[in-house]
Chains A and B, each alone.
Chain A
Amino acid sequence: KAGVTQTPRYLIKTRGQQVTLSCSPISGHRSVSWYQQTPGQGLQFLFEYFSETQRNKGNFPGRFSGRQFSNSRSEMNVSTLELGDSALYLCASSWRGVELFFGEGSRLTVL
């Protein structure tokens, strides 16, 4: 069974640009959540989707948004990038909401 796939793995953007990250969950998993990982801060929750509905949202500005498609694939978008948005963005899928299966992440660098 294929794991969680995130694309792209690495990307470099400049301040003010926007970025879209993609996540393909494990087949059969309908819940997809996104986390931001930075040194010293651990993993911070961004949002969680289940069957195309956002069920929960973390404490991030409105520049961070996401969506989930009918095939459970998910995207997150960050608009008007700031230097502080540089981080590893992790996607996790879950079947029963108990065990999270993480992808390898998308490492975003904002210059």
Chain B
Amino acid sequence: QQQVKQSPQSLIVQKGGIPIINCAYENTAFDYFPWYQQFPGKGPALLIAIRPDVSEKKEGRFTISFNKSAKQFSLHIMDSQPGDSATYFCAATTNTGNQFYFGTGTSLTVIP
């Protein structure tokens, strides 16, 4: 059973567009929600993360929107660039932090 559901599976946008990736969860014990970026041949790297006490967090061109009541969170990439082409994973964990639950990933392609 997938504890974190991610959509879409793939996404193609033009340079400058704003791709949005969505994730949903059921476990209300989750209290840390990171997003990871993975380039081919590399391991995932932390991009941005949020805790449920805030509804939005912005770091550079990346923004997480968090809706605690709906148990959903999303990643927005402003002014997307070809270099943003990668696979993005959302994840969630509890306060023990010793097991992360990942979404199935979104392959993003930004066309120049």
Interface string of B33-71 (1 = CB under 8 A from A): 010100001111110010000000000000000000000
Interface string of B63-100 (1 = CB under 8 A from A): 00000000000000000000000000101000011111
If the complex has contacts A42-B89, A42-B104, are A97 and B43 also in contact, measured as CB distance less than 8 A?
A: no
> What count of chain B residues pass the 8 Å CB interface test?
24
Q: How large is the interface on A (under 10, 10 to 19, 20 to 34, 35 or more residues)?
A: 20 to 34
In contact, B42 and A104 (Cβ under 8 angstroms): yes
In contact, B43 and A31 (Cβ under 8 angstroms): no
In contact, B104 and A104 (Cβ under 8 angstroms): no
In contact, B98 and A90 (Cβ under 8 angstroms): no
Q: Give the secondary structure class of B's interface.
A: loop
**Contacting residues, chain A, for B46 (C-beta < 8 A):** 99-101
Q: How many A-B residue pairs have CB under 8 A?
A: 62
**CB proximity of A62 to chain B, nearest CB, Å:** 18
Q: Which residues of A54-111 have CB atoms within 8 Å of chain B's CB atoms?
A: 55-56, 58, 90, 92, 94, 96-105
In contact, A48 and B98 (Cβ under 8 angstroms): yes
Interface residues in chain A, defined as those with a beta carbon under 8 Å from any beta carbon in chain B? 4, 31, 33, 35, 40-45, 48, 50, 55-56, 58, 90, 92, 94, 96-105
